[in-house]
Chain A
Amino acid sequence: MVGVFVLLALIIFVAGVFILGGQQNRFESSIRVRAVFDDVEGLRTGNNVWFSGVKIGTVKRISFYGEDQVEVEMNIIEDAQRYIHKDARALLSSESLIGNRIIEITGGSPQAPPVQDGDIIQVEAGLDTDDMLATLQRNNENLVSITEDFKELSAGLTNGKGTVGALLTDSTLANNLRTMVTNLQQTSANSARASQALTQFTSKLNTPGGLANELLTDTAVFNKLQASVAQLEQATTSASAMVENLNQATGKLNDSDNAVGVLLSDPDFAKRLQSTMQNLETSTEKFDQNMEALQHNFLLRGFFKRQAQQQNTEQEQQ
């Protein structure tokens, strides 16, 4: 019984040691990588080393380096060696907001060879809590000024200052706004009706047999229309030529180098024509008198008498 008891206790102890060792990668072969930091911010021996969020080792040793720098030696399991390249960077981070300090290895290009035992990798400045607090303090100050502005703004709004204040406090404005909204509502209802009517109209346009539809869909009508337009174009061209000719003709009417032009625009010719017409009138009067005299001439009197009689006979017969 005592043997079993002691054996069980030993098994518990050995299992505990093995689990602990396994968890701390004590039994896995590892390589040592170093990094030199300006400030390790409370990092301690045994703290974890992460790569892409996975624990790959622990901090083995922390010692001063040079004037005021700190060299950190890390144990990294060999399985992770091929993922960490020589240009990878180490930065100080935390497991959580209030958790332990860790070293986080990031980056590294695939072109660079994997890190080797004893290599020194570059460090990168991580997020410092003091910096974060300083930024937070600036944010606080900004927040104070923002809230002060907002306080003034809200006081103005309450007192009815400015457009928004008036909008909130002035009842007339509110009524106007309400009316406006009502009108807008009506307008939108009208628009809806108009758009409905437009829809109906366009649907009618699309009805087969309709003029618009024929125009849009019937190719024969389109061809005819094209021919008509062509003819119309010709007619327009002819009309244009005619108008030009007419223009030329009217232009010539103003000139005095042709008969009509002279007739219409030459004042001398008009005077002469007037005097000719007067002369002609005088001549016609005289000729009338001569003819009258001729009718009474004995030689021709018989002829005129017969003619008069014949006319009378025809009238009576009718």
Chain B
Amino acid sequence: MRKYVVTRRLDRLFIELYRIYNFVARFFKEVFLPPYEFKEIMNQCYEVGVRSLPLIALTGFIIGIVFTNQSRPSLSEFGATSWLPALISIAIVRALAPLVTAIITAGRVGSSIGAELGSMKVTEQIDAMEVSATNPYKFLVVSRVLATTFMIPSLMMFTILVSLLGGYVNVHQNEQTSFTSYFVQVFDAITFLDIFSSLAKSFVFGFTIGMVGCYKGYHSSKGTEGVGKAANSSVVTAMFLVFIEELLALQIINAIRAM
């Protein structure tokens, strides 16, 4: 009979945490060590960034329109519909764009990373790579995590632009606000802190999504069932972590803002 340090569950939790720590720490070690897998990184960037752009752009545009439309009644009660551009810009730049980009990417990319790495794991391709003197961690994990880390901020910039354009379409239709006036008000409401904090958040979200997807895939088991589980689990965990990070980031940014 095996003996547990505390209980079976707690012991498993700590073991899992230690594995996560090792996995993340290995990333920071491997990322700076040659050889650099530029080609694979570019491939992953293409997959994560360029292939996600149509979906992200469409979602962002719709969110811009819907959010503007849903905010209008609240503001029109005060006769303050002229403040819609300011409201939209703050909401999109500070929260919606990073979150929406992260969630869409987590759904689309996180699951595919989890499934891809999971299937490679259960079919022992990763073991085969190790045998053939290729560093599977560097080739599979570092490239994917770097791709998500750098592509999600880029996607977020597109989301901001497209969402603001969506908002403009709706505002222009209802309030006949000119393009110039709309964007002057949009930029009047936001600050450098808003843009840079969103950018920083996106880097963190990208890293989280990539890391979670890779970890779940890399440590999947139980055959093909484990692949589906890894894909599902990577999306759910990534989204959950993204929201937790959003909450923490909000506290940090508010503390900076108050300084």
Contacts from A to B (Cβ < 8 Å): 1-2, 5-6, 8-10, 12-13, 16-17, 19-21, 23-24, 26, 46, 98
- Within the complex, the shortest CB–CB distance from A39 to chain B, in Å, comes to 21
Q: Given A5-B49, A6-B49, are A20 and B187 also a contact pair (CB < 8 Å)?
A: yes
A-B CB contact pairs (8 Å), 24 listed: A1-B46, A1-B50, A2-B45, A2-B46, A2-B49, A5-B50, A5-B53, A6-B45, A6-B49, A6-B154, A9-B154, A9-B157, A12-B158, A13-B199, A16-B160, A16-B187, A17-B192, A17-B195, A20-B187, A20-B191, A20-B192, A23-B188, A46-B191, A98-B80
> How far is the CB of A19 from the nearest CB of chain B, in Å?
5
Kindly identify, within residues 33 to 76 of chain B, every residue whose CB is under 8 Å from any CB belonging to chain A: 42, 45-46, 49-50, 53
Contacts of A2 in B (CB 8 A): 42, 45-46, 49-50
Task: Collect the chain A residues with CB atoms within 8 Å of residue B192's CB.
Answer: 17, 20-21, 24, 26
User: Which 10 pairs across A and B sit closest by C-beta, in order of nearness?
Assistant: A9-B154, A12-B157, A9-B157, A2-B45, A23-B187, A5-B50, A1-B50, A13-B157, A2-B46, A12-B161
Given A2-B46, A9-B153, are A16 and B184 neighbors across the interface (CB < 8 Å)?
no
User: In the complex the two chains form, what is the Cα distance from A24 to B194 in whole Å?
Assistant: 14
Docked complex Cα distance between A24 and B190 (Å): 10
- Residue count of chain B within 8 Å CB distance of chain A: 26
Which of A1, A9, A20, A23 is packed against the most chain B CB atoms within 10 Å? Answer: A9
- Contact among B45, B78, B157, B183 with A19 in the assembled complex (CB-CB below 8 Å): B183
Contacts of A12 in B (CB 8 A): 157-158, 160-161
CB A61 to nearest CB in B, in angstroms, measures 12
Across the interface, A5 reaches (CB within 8 A) one of B78, B154, B191, namely B154
Asked whether A20 and B155 contact (CB < 8 A) given A2-B50, A5-B53, A13-B199, the answer is: no
**B153 and A19 within 8 A (CB):** no
Chain B residues closer than 8 Å to A21, beta-carbon distance: 192
Q: Find the A residue at minimum CB distance from B41.
A: A2
